[in-house]
Structure 1
Amino acid sequence: MSSTTVTPLTIQDAEVLVAAARRAAEAGDVTVSVTVLDAGGHLLAFQRDDRAVLISGETSTRKAYTALQLDTSTADLVDAVQPGGPFHTLPTALDRPLLFIAGGVPVHRDGRLIGAIGVGAPEQDHAFATAAVKAIA
């Protein structure tokens, strides 16, 4: 039996992710905060546009954490936390709160989860996060 070693998310990858997300946001004239976490949920990179609302820093981090923990884009989980949904109680069930708002995207390499990115912005945050992930694919 052989195991394939997958290169973990590096600080260089994190910097590419942040830059790509910021470029996508700037193209749309949107201010954002961007958080990149490694596979263990540890902060690799964070950047907040000086014009972005302060809470976008917290939301970008929680979005990344949620995408990482569930290995799913947060945009795909919004309905799951509605009353009657399978994750209805999950947002408040953990010590570290999850955030089920679009903008968190898991990052994979060779089919393995290696981290996540979260973008805090008022609107197109999922699009910006997805554009960033494509930059290291």
Structure 2
Amino acid sequence: MSRTATSRTAVAPLTTEDAELLVAAARNTAEQAGTSVSVAVLDAGGHLLAFRRDDRAVLISGETSIRKAFTALQLNAPTADLVDAVQPGGPFHTLPTALDRPLLFIAGGLPVHREGRLIGAIGVGGGTPAQDHTFATTA
């Protein structure tokens, strides 16, 4: 019996400090655009590390930012890239309601990688889907 040794270098997890920097960067970009948003950052396990809802952001943006981040994390893909997949006839058509924790296929969620490994996700809500995607990407 032979063993093949594989070398895996540990990658530092997403920290609270990292998460707060992502929130600040997304919020600053949104503020420059004159948009009030909510920003959520999750670690690789889907746990909330940082969250901020601007005073004037619509209330639902808090929930959408978290769900966008969760969706990006679970599928390791930007939510903007998944919108067509949940349309009737798409490969993920029933996926938004198949889980206990609903996914949200609206632009604004992005996975966060370090050294090619998934370490968390960011979600932004409150602007248009295109704006939210830009704010998350900028962060």
| Structure-2-length-normalised TM-score | 0.94
Match of 1:45 among 25, 47, 50: 50
**Counterpart Cα distance in 1 of 2:7 and 2:40:** 34
Matched, 1:101 2:113: no
> What is the CA-CA distance between 1:122 and the residue it aligns to?
2.5
Secondary structure of 1:128 counterpart = helix
Give, as a single letter, the amino acid of the residue that structure 1 aligns with 2:86: V
Equivalenced residue count is: 132
Q: Post-superposition shift, 1:45? A: 0.3
2: CA distance, partners of 1:17 / 1:108: 13
User: Which runs of 4 or more aligned residues in structure 1 lie more than 2 Å from their structure 2 counterparts after TM superposition?
Assistant: none
Q: CA RMSD in A?
A: 0.5
Query: Is 2:34 the partner of 1:29?
Result: yes
2:92 to 81, 87, 92: 87
The CA distance in 2 between the partners of 1:122 and 1:11, in whole Å, is 25
Q: What are the ranges of 5 or more consecutive residues in structure 1 without an aligned counterpart?
A: 133-137
Q: Give the aligned partner of residue 19 of structure 1.
A: 24
Distance 2:126 2:29 in 1: 12
Matched, 1:127 2:138: no
Task: Report the identity percentage.
Answer: 79
Report which of the two structures shows the higher radius of gyration computed on alpha carbons.
2
Deviations along 1:86-137, whole A, 9 cap, x unmatched?
00000011100000000000000000000000000221000000000xxxxx
Give distance in 1, aligned partners of 2:14 and 2:51: 14
Q: Give yes or no for the alignment of 1:113 onto 2:139.
A: no
Cα distance, 1:3 vs structure 2:
1.1
Q: For 1:88 and 1:56, how far apart are their aligned partners in 2?
A: 23
Q: Per the alignment, in what secondary structure is the counterpart of residue 28 of structure 2?
A: helix
For residue 81 of structure 2, what is the aligned residue in structure 1?
Answer: 76
